[in-house]
Amino acid sequence: MDTKLNLNIDRSVGDFHYDVDYEFDAGTGLSEKTIDYICDVKKDPDWIREFRKDALRKFNSMPMPTHWASPDLENIVFENIRYYLSQGTMPKRSWDDVPEDVKRTFERLGIPEQERKFLAGVEAQFDSEAAYSNIKAAVGDQGVIFVGSTEGLQKHPEIFKKWFGKVIPTGDNKFSALNSAVFSGGSFIYIPPGVKVKHPLQAYFRINAENFGQFERTLIIADEGSEVMYMEGCTAPKFETSTLHSAVVELVALKGAKIQYITVQNWSANVFNLVTKRGIAHEEAEIKWIDCNIGSRLTMKYPGVVMKGRKARGEVISIALAGDGQHQDTGAKMIHAADETTSNIVSKSISIGKGRSTYRGLVQVGRHLKGCKNNTECDALLINTDSRTDTYPAITVRGKENACQHEASVSKISAEQIFYMQQRGISKAAAMSLAVNGFVNDLVQQFPMEYSVELKRLIDLEMEGSVG
């Protein structure tokens, strides 16, 4: 079968840009002054100011991880990035209060409508700060806290300080250090013991400004026996220059708690998306990352779960779609640190044109543990002759009462499938699209209904160019 096909993904929904007047602007470049500016605007307590400055020192001293990661990282010019842009640090509780120029962006993205339909709470971040943040009264009455990181820090310092930076230390990697230095925005969530939040909480991250760096910081604590589902969506307009998104997300699931964290990343193709995500699962707790990476120029993201308590469970479900010129470098980390912990990683990637998808995984089982199990499956689909896929797992499973298995396969769309469908009058483009959707279908099913519909639409590949 001829594979000179050109599949395009619909990224037009997020590709628009409005001019906005920013009240606070830290300028371009990064120095101690930038940090002082951010601290002053956000009225950070002294320990945070010190925390940020320490992180900046770490960031400056750490080398780029190019000994294993893509050399494309060298193209990030940290001096040209704007590290803080906002119209004020406190989000509005009502869409009516959100400034018109920001509101129209979210309306065009359909956020207020989705909130009315099926969400328990929404936070909408515009560049550095949340423009809007609200949860339904019924959920708030149960004691659920869902605010931005700035507000969380100011209003709930006792919970915030206890967990902040504990799951992902500042020096974990160069980009977590960068985030720790200049973080702004993101969500702070606390679910009290036994509370099961029925509907998802959603955050929406929007980059609007050119040459901007978004560094949100999310901290979710699910107290004993509680349950929560959190969803985040990301978009940015397409600029000529590169944009940096470097978030840190920390999850804590206390005994018996369940956290599901869902990401649909659809950044435009000029965004470097370098994100550190990790959760700690205590006894019988469960953390599940559902991760879908469609956009960006380079994504490096390896959600992790540290299974600290007996019978804890970690799961990563990952879909990556690397279009022409994109590199999706994604994966998972599973650290088993207690008996009878189980983890599961299922990763599916699709590379189109000269797109490159990479799976990087880490599975560790400590010695003298019993009954730990890991299962890893990685499947890659290559659409064109020059598409590329890589798999780099690292597995250390000690102890004779533990088991793990890792499998990976690489394939292309079967010519028979396409032929079969074409015989029945389905166009080649539609047949390819169906085959791709079929490849990821079992994973898409794991997303909430509303998201799986959206995902299918995103992966609804349109074929352009000739066949032959």
Which residues of the shown chain bind another protein in the complex (CB under 8 A)?
A: 3, 67-68, 367-368, 380, 382-412
The CB-of-412 to another protein minimum distance in angstroms stands at 4
What three-state secondary structure class fits 128? coil
Dihedrals phi, psi of 174, to nearest 5 degrees: -60, -35
Q: Any idea of the CA torsion for 43, 48, 54, 60, to the nearest 10 degrees?
A: -50
Per-position DSSP letters for 415-459, written without gaps between them: HHHHHHHHHTT--HHHHHHHHHHHHHHHHHTTS-HHHHHHHHHHT
Q: 344 - beta bridge partners?
A: 315, 375
What is the maximum alpha-carbon separation in the chain?
A: 69
The CB-of-444 to another protein minimum distance in angstroms stands at 22
Per-position DSSP letters for 392-422, written without gaps between them: EEEEEE-STT-EEEEEEEEEE--HHHHHHHH
Q: How many residues does the chain have?
A: 468
Closest CA to 365 of 332, 392, 402: 402
The CB-of-351 to another protein minimum distance in angstroms stands at 8
The CB-of-63 to another protein minimum distance in angstroms stands at 9
Q: Any idea of the CA torsion for 438, 443, 445, 448, to the nearest 10 degrees?
A: -140
Nearer to another protein, 6 or 402 (CB): 402
What three-state secondary structure class fits 230? strand
Burial of 95 (0-12, 13-18, 19+ CB in 10 A): middle
Dihedrals phi, psi of 215, to nearest 5 degrees: -130, 65
The CB-of-339 to another protein minimum distance in angstroms stands at 12
Q: How many Cβ atoms from other residues are within 10 Å of residue 54's Cβ? A: 15
The CB-of-372 to another protein minimum distance in angstroms stands at 10
Query: Which residues have C-beta within 8 Å of that of residue 368, sequence separation ≥ 6?
Result: 399
The CB-of-67 to another protein minimum distance in angstroms stands at 6
Nearer to another protein, 80 or 409 (CB): 409
The CB-of-1 to another protein minimum distance in angstroms stands at 9
Burial of 423 (0-12, 13-18, 19+ CB in 10 A): exposed
Per-position DSSP letters for 13-57, written without gaps between them: GG--------SEE--BS-SHHHHHHHHHHHT--HHHHHHHHHHHH
Can you list the positions of beta strands (E) in 207-297? Answer: 213-214, 217-222, 227-235, 243-245, 248-253, 258-265, 271-281, 286-293
The CB-of-207 to another protein minimum distance in angstroms stands at 32
Nearer to another protein, 39 or 410 (CB): 410
Query: Which residues have C-beta within 8 Å of that of residue 173, sequence separation ≥ 6?
Result: 62, 65, 276
The CB-of-435 to another protein minimum distance in angstroms stands at 13
